[in-house]
Amino acid sequence: MKTRVGIIGAGPAGLLLAHLLSSKGIDVVVLERRSRAHCESRVRAGVLEQGTADTLAEAGVGERMRAEGQVHHGIELRFGGEGHRIAFEELVPGRAITVYGQQEVVKDLIAANLANGVDLRFEVEDVAVGSLADPYLTFGTERLDCDFIAGCDGFHGVSRESVPAADLAVYEKTYPFAWLGILADVAPSAPELIYSASERGFSLHSMRSDSVSRFYLQVPPDTRPEDWTHEAIWAELKARHETVPGFTLATGPITQVDVAAMRSFVAEPMRFGRLFLAGDAAHIVPPTGAKGLNLAVADVRVLARALGEYYRTGSEALLDAYSAACLSRVWRAQHFSWWMTTLLHRFEGDPYDRRLQQAHLAYVAGSRAQATALAENYTGLPYAD
């Protein structure tokens, strides 16, 4: 088998790359070890930056997102018994976020790729990178020769593991807590996301639709989903959110509970010979800043443009610049995610640090300059291209 670009992974990064390249007439094959049903049902991030929403719309896969996604023009920071709205429409005019589940993005991209005749292969076993210089992939008993390999297979994928350790610089940070994620069949209790920093710990009120809500609780890092009963979950969510007079958190059937580790990770560079890493294969951010999916889309924009230029003109200039171009945005997002995490979570330790945190929250809520910095990073910085 032969193709121009072999893509490992059918998450948002791999699927968007496949769609962008196939739309340019560049042949691709996508290999995914999980089933299509699993990829289309895996609930993950649901906050799309302005640039991400625009990219999907420009690529012709934004129709359902525009119809069903919820456009938000602000978020609330809740602390000290008060709510403080960060008003995007005033601070960064023309920019907003769209709440639209990652699994919905995946559904749209799979449908678009199949409509374009892209070779998507699910439930593929034993994918391996055969070579970085003369690239090919193996899976099962087959071999796929290609000009380039795009590793879009996530943090635990095979693409980054195929790189010699001596060629990688790895930067990591692990936070001393995790997030308990809750999905519930209940209408949202507020029109926008609420980031609550309480004395009991951080909590987030989010949503997936007009009838489905998503919540997160800061919990110890060794927490298991079965450690929490549904009654205990609702009691803790109410305790952390009902800190503003007149606010009542609606409750309903809980349909899913999971635990997400809080960590940061960056592997540099993001190119090795003819192998390019994108998305979670190269970097992980704590979910506080809602940057994971958005960084994957930003990587893919750069890579699709570079590959398009190569096949159009033969120039490798943009391919050579890929890693540096992506990493400049990755590290900005790393800083913002770290800043949001340290701003809002309860850290055990020195009371002095706690008072500093409270003072910083008050500064963000009261300073237009600080609120603008939050708004422009949260809605997404402009793309370099």
Q: What is the pLDDT of residue 385?
A: 74
Going from the C-alpha of 34 to that of each of 125, 157, 276, the distances in angstroms are 9, 12, 21
d(C-alpha 146, C-alpha 132), whole Å:
11
Q: Give the 3-state secondary structure of 11-72.
A: CHHHHHHHHHHHHCCCCEEEECCCCHHHHHHCCCCCEECHHHHHHHHHCCCCHHHHHHCEEE
Flag whether 248 is in a domain: no
Flag whether 203 is in a domain: no
Flag whether 127 is in a domain: yes
The position carrying tokens 């391919």 is 319
CATH for 64: 3.50.50.60
For 237-254, what is each residue's pLDDT tens digit? 999 999 999 999 999 999
d(C-alpha 269, C-alpha 325), whole Å:
11
Q: What is the pLDDT of residue 241?
A: 98
Flag whether 181 is in a domain: no
Cα torsion 238, 240, 244, 250 to 10°: value is: -30
Flag whether 327 is in a domain: yes
Domain of 34 in residue numbering reads as 2-70+96-173+263-347
- DSSP code, position 167: G
> Which 3 state secondary structure label does DSSP give 82?
strand
Flag whether 368 is in a domain: no
> Which 3 state secondary structure label does DSSP give 47?
strand
Task: Tell me which residues are annotated as active site.
Answer: 72, 195, 287, 291, 378
> Which 3 state secondary structure label does DSSP give 323?
helix
For 304-340, what is each residue's pLDDT tens digit? 999 999 999 999 999 999 999 999 999 999 999 999 9
Q: What is the pLDDT of residue 384?
A: 83
d(C-alpha 50, C-alpha 305), whole Å:
19
Flag whether 231 is in a domain: no
Number of domains in the chain: 1
DSSP bridge partners of 276: 150, 271
The tens-digit pLDDT sequence of the chain (385 residues) is 999 999 999 999 999 999 999 999 999 999 999 999 999 988 777 899 999 999 999 999 999 999 999 999 999 999 999 999 999 999 999 999 999 999 999 999 999 999 999 999 999 999 999 988 899 999 999 999 999 999 999 999 999 999 999 999 999 999 999 999 999 999 999 999 999 999 999 999 999 889 999 999 999 999 999 999 999 999 999 999 999 999 999 999 999 999 999 999 999 999 999 999 999 999 999 999 999 999 999 999 999 999 999 999 999 999 999 999 999 999 999 999 999 999 999 998 889 999 999 999 999 999 999 999 999 999 999 998 7
d(C-alpha 201, C-alpha 223), whole Å:
15
Flag whether 187 is in a domain: no
